[in-house]
Structure 1
């Protein structure tokens, strides 16, 4: 029966109000009829008074305070009419108390605490004052003052239910917010890892493919006129391809599970391998000079990798856009700061035209790498000719560099 009533209501306030009003009447009707019969009073009159107190409950969800006022008014009318009924009983009042309690409970659950208690106190005051006037005398005083308890008890129960609902709602909201925050954090970390792997793949592929392309061009040009040098170029293509495969294998290994024994364990490249990197560019026709100032003091692995990748990408862009030209790499190790500069003299006569606008994926990756370690990077054409990339990377014990070098 309860399940059928719950399905019929279906969370609709109007149906719930009808069900509550009907339940209130059906529960109180037998008691009211028995009381009237026991007191030799009119049973229909008592039931009609009960019906009048339950009818306002049909709209208790929409207007809880007016409904409470209406039920209290019925109770006041009942108190006034008791002395004029046949064979009045000293404790005859009580027909509308059940409806008053239900109405005040609705006020407490659907309004704020101050409104609920104001309404409850007004109801208790109105009923008590009416009873004191109608039923005067010291022998009736305890019963009259007892009318204060029923409205206050209804408000207290409703206020406790409302507070518990608000507490549960806040707990659910916090749980949902925590779940959303956890999902957003997971998505952010996945995006950062994806971008990091994309940068590594771009740097490895762009660098080695550029070198292989240049060395293949040299081998093709010298194959007939100078087979010995062409053979050396093919050897460098083999070595470069092997290095590219090794780095690709190491990068793809980042996608494997940490417990997968098949994942490669090659060390990440760093400035220790800078000479080999520059030799590879020199073999491809790029004249690269290296200058060092100072000595590194506790270079973190992430900064070491970042500096290597920036130099690698800058020289790859030089070779791609300027062709065989002259480039310079300068490393300046200052206290708490590493400054590195890569600049070239631009394309030679008849060489590739332009060095790009500095907005490709490689340039974006260099900026992202510099920001990831707390540094800055600037890149752009030199005043007369060529292109310049400058990065300032903080070292342990140093301050974060400014926006410009």
Structure 2
């Protein structure tokens, strides 16, 4: 029922304002009758007070668009009732003026609020001073009305400050959410770009190596050239499958059954076979007890090995590589080496490609370490250590 009335009030703001003003008028008229009843002197004139109350309450209908003007009108009405008509300025009689003062405090700046409040309090105090005959009645006729005006002004200023503070907090929270969303989008773009680079660079490098080797053997050994060309569709088909799986993550309407699972170290034999078809001899050794890795860590390890072998295919003069996987209690260490005869390679910071940079970002994002550079005895080495999950995490 409460929500229903809230919706009705939001749909009919003018009717709500008229209803509140009518209720305030009823309280103000009640204050007039109360003042007339408790008056010790001759009965006060009734109809001028009723007219002034109606005028003051009617002016409140414009308090949001003209707050200062409405405060001036209501203050003049209350001062007339206290000064000329001799009414006792009670909070009921001052209701329209107090509402106008609250609106000014709520909608205008602090300096304007307090200037208007002090002026209204001074006017009410003057009217109470003139309309009060006995000094013993000054507290009721002078101090009490001015205190009500200042108290309402203070309360309105407090509400305004609280609203500004809540609005500032909401705006700050919205900015933080927007920045967080922007940061997540950038990270997702970098992740997708890294995946696409790894897939495309690896398979295109192998296809290019196969095509170059086939062209070299075409005249002297046509049978070997034809056999190597026949293996090219396997490389391109594998590239298309991984590209479909990676790009399919961006499509919301893609059926998950159509997407291939993310590759991992279980696909390392297929990777070695693909490299062998391009003329790269790869040997794999495993030390320690192999563990089942989480999907993210498994993908990171596979991509680092894949990119390192791709770089050897493109840059190394000797078509051979060694991959060593060392499992310990807390780390998986990957070492990919090309023994000798590698061509000079630029440092990762000055490289025109993104291979070494992508491997470094993958290792660091997984909480590991990464090193790549020439070996002292010749060749090139890529080494990284990836932290393994604890036994509690792996079983959970």
TM-score by length of 2: 0.68
Higher mean C-alpha displacement, 259-268 vs 334-343 = 259-268
Pair 1:174 & 2:164 matched: no
Residue of 306, 329, 336 corresponding to 1:335: 329
Structure 1 match to 2:180: 185
- Listed as ranges, the matches of 1:108-187 within 5 Å are 140-144=135-139, 146-187=141-182
**Corresponding residue for residue 222 of structure 1:** 217
Aligned residue for 2:277? 283
The Cα of 1:21 is off from its aligned counterpart by: 7.4
How does 1:46-65 map onto structure 2 within 5 Å?
62=111
Q: Which has the larger radius of gyration?
A: 1
Q: CA deviation at 1:234?
A: 0.7
Shift of 1:218: 1.3
Deviation at 1:261, TM superposition (A): 2.4
Output one character per residue of 1:222-249: Cα deviation in whole Å (capped at 9) or x when no partner: 2222221111111221110111111111
Q: Show CA shifts across 1:122-150 (max 9, x none).
A: xxxxxxxxx9xxx77xxx42444553322
1:354-369 map, 5 Å: 354-359=344-349, 360-369=353-362
User: Residues 237, 72 of structure 1: CA spacing in aligned structure 2 closer, same or farther, 3 A cutoff?
Assistant: closer
For 1:222 and 1:271, the matched residues in 2 are separated by 33
Structure 2 residue runs of 5 or longer lacking an equivalent are 1-58, 88-108
Q: Which position in structure 2 is the counterpart of 1:244? A: 239
Which residue does the alignment assign to 1:83? Answer: none
8 Å CA contact retained: 1:207, 1:312: yes
Structure 1 residue 207 displacement after superposition:
0.4
Residue pair 2:117, 2:153 contacting (<8 A) in 1 also = no
Which residue of 363, 375, 386 corresponds with 1:393? Answer: 386
- Corresponding position of 2:77: 27
Deviation of 1:189 after TM superposition, in Å, equals 1.9
Runs (5+) with no aligned partner, structure 1:
10-15, 39-59, 80-90, 95-130, 400-405
1:313 has 2:307 as partner: yes
* Higher mean C-alpha deviation, range 145-154 or range 289-298: 145-154
Question: Quick one: which of 259, 262, 286 aligns to 1:268?
Answer: 262
Give me the whole-angstrom Cα distance separating, in 1, the residues matched to 2:316 and 2:364: 27
SS class of match (1:389): strand
CA spacing shift, 1:276–1:142, aligned 2, 3 Å: same
Task: From the superposition, tell whether residues 263 and 252 of structure 1 become closer, same or farther in structure 2 (CA, over 3 Å).
Answer: farther
1:2, distance to aligned residue in structure 2 (A): 7.9
Does residue 365 of structure 2 align to residue 372 of structure 1?
yes
Answer with 234-243 or 174-183: which moved more.
Answer: 174-183
1:347-399 residue CA offsets vs partner (Å, 9 max, x unmatched):
45xxxx41222233121211221122221212122224222111111111189
Relative distance call for 1:262 and 1:298 in structure 2 (3 A) is: closer
Q: Which residue of 2 aligns with 1:93?
A: 130
Normalising by the residue count of structure 1, what TM-score does the alignment of the two structures yield? 0.67
CA RMSD of superposed structures (Å): 3.5
CA gap 1:305/1:235 in 2 versus in 1, 3 angstroms: same
Secondary structure at the aligned position of 1:342 is classed as: strand
